[in-house]
Amino acid sequence: MILPYALRLLLLCAASYFVVYCAASLAVCAAVPAVMRRSAWRRPRREATLLAALRLLPLLLALFAVAALCVPGYLRFEPEADAERAGVLSILAALCGAGIVLYGLTRAAGALWRSVRSARDIRRSGSPIRLDGEAAPASVLDSDSPLLALIGLARPRVVVSRGLLSALSFEQFDAALRHEQAHRASCDNAKRLLFLLAPDPFVPLGRLEALERAWARLAEWAADDRAAAGDPRRALSLAEALVRVARMGCPAAPCPISAQLISDGSGLRERVHRLVELASQPAAPVNPSAGRLLPLSIVTGVLVLAFACQSQVLYSAHQLLEAFLR
């Protein structure tokens, strides 16, 4: 098929996105069993970060390939000559790539829209309340179900039901609130949205879904640890709050992108036992390397980008993509 300059660039972007996305997804799928075997009991935060990074690796690599290699290489080395021929394989790959991107965007946009609408409804129907440590007022819902959740993306807010407020003691509610604040500090809702942007191209393997489930479990553990902050009494209060809420029944999630105190009862036993263990043992020292992870990632990203912008690298990448296009 003969395509003009701009359309060829679009085709190249979509096709290279598909190839890199699938290759990276396959590599992540292969790595999942080994990663899941690692013990995360004592260091859930680090392991949760690792799992989230692995889950998002295909998306990040594919975006990097398109933004840092494909587009600059094409604009720099492809002469704006007449239209050129594109092969069937590259057109098919481009269609699949566009399909993956559109599906991811649709999922994320749908979840975002439902979340925004739910958050608006909750704010309208609930009454505002000032909570300790909360910059924005939380919303209290007139409901008997034991709801405590963090909703929203940019400025996540706490939603709490009257049923839960009346069921928990002051210490228990304080610990539960700290748990939700820990989810906000870890940007867990934003990560959930990013996961939606990166659909699993190998659904029958079920590996990326398993990775997501494992991440969700570890994110809860990490939030528990952060809420307890090495205080045995607070760890115990949080465990008591979890059991009290579970006894009242787990409510449905208020919106697709939200963090709840208990999303379902499946991991309750593990969480309570971990908190009891936290209450028995002195707090583990905070790993200083965890705080350095973000700056380290940024520096690595900049270095890789600088390398990719090298003329020779761009030219090689362009040649490779040209061969693929034909």
Q: How far is the CB of 279 from other proteins (least distance, A)?
A: 6
| Residues in contact with 191: Cβ distance below 8 Å, sequence separation at least 6, in sequence order | 52, 56, 215, 219
C-beta of 137 vs 267, nearer to other proteins: 267
C-beta of 85 vs 233, nearer to other proteins: 233
Residue pair 248/167 in contact by the 8 Å Cβ criterion: yes
C-beta of 99 vs 232, nearer to other proteins: 232
Q: How far is the CB of 246 from other proteins (least distance, A)?
A: 6
Q: How far is the CB of 40 from other proteins (least distance, A)?
A: 21
Residues in touch with other proteins (CB under 8 A): 232-233, 236, 239-240, 243, 246-247, 265, 268-269, 272-273, 276, 279-280
C-beta of 134 vs 171, nearer to other proteins: 171
Q: How far is the CB of 265 from other proteins (least distance, A)?
A: 6
Q: How far is the CB of 99 from other proteins (least distance, A)?
A: 32
C-beta of 142 vs 270, nearer to other proteins: 270
